[in-house]
Structure 1
Amino acid sequence: MPSYTPSSSVIAARKALAERLHDLRRDAGITGRELSRRCGWHPAKTTRIQAGKAAPSDADIRAWCQACDAPDQTDDLIAASRVVDSMYVEWRRLEKTGLRHAQDSVLDLYRRTRHFRVYAHRVMPGMLQTREYTRAVLTAVQRIRNTVDDVDAALDARMDRQAMLHRSRRTFAILIEEQVLHGGVADAATMAGQLGTLIEFSTRPTVSLGIIPVHTGRRRSPAEDFYMFDDTQTSVELVSGHLRLTQPHEVAMYAAAFTEFTEMALFGHEARRRIASALRRHR
């Protein structure tokens, strides 16, 4: 499984944008130095943009297109640049006004999605969390990232979203690494309640719940937690931030990884046996 970071996915997209700008200059028949003169900036800036090492602003793109006598390309290139910018968001930026904003920011996406695929190797998937478990997770996040303390508001938003999801005709395919059942995110009582709820969720007809045993042969290492929204978007939860992937080939890579992880997982009675075993340890 590729370990997606800003340096592998976002920068690749930025380089693709840089190549389009480079081609535009070349098609105009002007040098980088001449383009810099027309734009009124240092030639080093042109070099950095063409190498994908610097992200051009909307104003930079407008000036570039004007210098290349291609104003008709401006809107399309600005749109492409904004897609790159939206792919990766640092947690500190997403949560700068508190955790509630992060919950609300994905609400429309969740409303549009009909089939969810989730892989979890750090914490329980949010859509299956109990209120007590969610409180423990959000409290830990608030303390570690030193965000605004709006845990109660964020908790209410998460629970409202979860209720909305399970009132509808959505389907959920969820894979959880076995170590998550024994994780230290919450105290024993909270974990026991969470595992009991997990068993109940596993019996629902709209939920396919798989547990990936700790000792299992695998060709891929565990990936970051990721959520797939139909076949249109994959969201990856990195340590440093949130990665949003919408390119079909990238979404397809995560779909392939999910299929491979599914083949390692236990389902039905066997999955519930693993959960029940972990539950006994927390009591």
Structure 2
Amino acid sequence: MSNQAQEAREALGARLRAFRKDAGFASGRAFAMATGWAESKVSRIENGKQNASEEDILLWCIKTNNQVHTQDLIATARHIDELWLEWRRQLQTGAEKRQSKALQVYAKTKVFRIWHPTVVWGTLQTAEYAAETFKQVVDYYEIPNDTEAAVAKRLERQRYLYEGNRIFNVLLGEQALYSNFGGPDVMKGQLDRLLAVMRLPRLSLGIIPRSAPVKIWPGNSFSMFDDRLVLVETYSAEFSVTQPREVDLYAKAFVLLKQSAVYGRGARELLLSASHHFDRQSRK
């Protein structure tokens, strides 16, 4: 969980604890008896170890005579949920809906800072490469297979490479050129796509060689949208970072990562080397 989400959960727990004490429940045990909950549940909620559901908040406010605060607290709990979105919940109806949501963020963004150490960034993917990544998502999370629709939505992002005055600062790890999605033909097509788009005037494509000295550990992939939002993906969830001091840390990390990257001719040579690798693979 992001620090911002955890801090918000702890703040909500502290507020609920104050309600309990002000209502005359001197201990968590006494409040647990009044609600019919386990004492451990009261403790976890108050200490920010467990999310309070909307039903939990409603009952808490009734028992402490704080119904006037119910809607405010429910809104707070919903915001915490938005900061940490489990992939299973985001993808329960398939992957297309999540791709549509991304379009709304892209439309509002002027400057993009993207770091992907092992996979080509979605907006630069070919349809074939994207389809292979979505097939893995469908299998891994056991969600409805809407690969074709999800690919179409992902490819819609590409219009932003050409529209308006947006600036795209993209960093890939060299491993992203070799992570094999779909076999040699798919990979060669994807590498050709990168060679083509790196000529776009508003796209800066850097690649960090595998042996390059690094100023900061590579970490998870992240996407920065102006200075207002960072999205970080893990296997279990995606979390959003909006607190300015945390956004600044990601901006600092991006600057340090850039110091290890090669651009222009250096990036082109890495792309061509990867393409030759898959040429050899296809001849075997």
Give me the TM-score of the superposition, normalised by structure 1.
0.87
In the superposition, relative to structure 1, how do residues 75 and 169 fare at CA in structure 2: closer, same or farther (>3 Å)? Answer: same
Pairing partner for 1:21 from 13, 16, 36? 16
Which residue matches 1:76? 72
User: Which stretch shifts more, 34-43 or 248-257?
Assistant: 34-43
> Are residues 1:220 and 2:216 paired?
yes
Which residue matches 1:114? 110
Alignment of 1:168-179 (within 5 A): 168-179=164-175
User: Which stretch shifts more, 45-54 or 20-29?
Assistant: 20-29
Sequence identity (%): 36
Mapped to 2, the partners of 1:196 and 1:259 lie a distance apart of 27
In the superposition, relative to structure 1, how do residues 20 and 216 fare at CA in structure 2: closer, same or farther (>3 Å)? Answer: farther
Which residue matches 1:125? 121
Gaps of 5+ in 2: 280-284
In the superposition, relative to structure 1, how do residues 64 and 185 fare at CA in structure 2: closer, same or farther (>3 Å)? Answer: same
Gaps of 5+ in 1: 1-5
> Are residues 1:253 and 2:243 paired?
no
Pairing partner for 1:31 from 21, 26, 34? 26
Mapped to 1, the partners of 2:217 and 2:117 lie a distance apart of 11
Q: Give the partner amino acid of 1:142.
A: V
Tell whether the 8 Å contact from 1:35 to 1:64 is kept in structure 2 after alignment: no
> Are residues 1:211 and 2:196 paired?
no
Cα-Cα RMSD: 2.4
Which residue matches 2:226? 230
> Are residues 1:276 and 2:272 paired?
yes
User: Which stretch shifts more, 205-214 or 55-64?
Assistant: 55-64
In the superposition, relative to structure 1, how do residues 59 and 201 fare at CA in structure 2: closer, same or farther (>3 Å)? Answer: same
Tell whether the 8 Å contact from 2:208 to 2:262 is kept in structure 1 after alignment: yes
Pairing partner for 2:192 from 181, 191, 196? 196
Per-residue CA deviation, residues 2-22 of structure 1 (Å, 9 max, x unaligned), is xxxx38664443223212323
Q: How many residues are treated as equivalent by the alignment?
A: 278
Pairing partner for 1:243 from 239, 243, 246? 239
Tell whether the 8 Å contact from 2:96 to 2:149 is kept in structure 1 after alignment: yes
Which residue matches 1:95? 91
Tell whether the 8 Å contact from 2:224 to 2:230 is kept in structure 1 after alignment: yes
In the superposition, relative to structure 1, how do residues 26 and 258 fare at CA in structure 2: closer, same or farther (>3 Å)? Answer: farther
Helix, strand or coil at the partner of 1:117: strand
Q: Give the partner amino acid of 1:260.
A: L
Mapped to 2, the partners of 1:127 and 1:73 lie a distance apart of 43
User: Which stretch shifts more, 184-193 or 121-130?
Assistant: 184-193
Pairing partner for 1:153 from 149, 152, 155? 149
Which residue matches 1:3? none
Shift of 1:281: 2.0
Helix, strand or coil at the partner of 2:216: coil
Tell whether the 8 Å contact from 2:2 to 2:84 is kept in structure 1 after alignment: no
Q: Give the partner amino acid of 1:199.
A: L
Mapped to 2, the partners of 1:145 and 1:122 lie a distance apart of 20
Mapped to 1, the partners of 2:33 and 2:229 lie a distance apart of 41
Helix, strand or coil at the partner of 1:31: coil
Pairing partner for 2:179 from 160, 180, 183? 183
Q: Give the partner amino acid of 1:200.
A: A
Tell whether the 8 Å contact from 1:97 to 1:148 is kept in structure 2 after alignment: yes
In the superposition, relative to structure 1, how do residues 186 and 42 fare at CA in structure 2: closer, same or farther (>3 Å)? Answer: closer
Q: Give the partner amino acid of 2:168.
A: F
Helix, strand or coil at the partner of 1:105: helix
Mapped to 2, the partners of 1:137 and 1:250 lie a distance apart of 29
In the superposition, relative to structure 1, how do residues 165 and 269 fare at CA in structure 2: closer, same or farther (>3 Å)? Answer: closer
Tell whether the 8 Å contact from 1:123 to 1:185 is kept in structure 2 after alignment: no
Q: Give the partner amino acid of 2:106.
A: Y
Shift of 1:30: 4.8
Tell whether the 8 Å contact from 2:113 to 2:170 is kept in structure 1 after alignment: yes
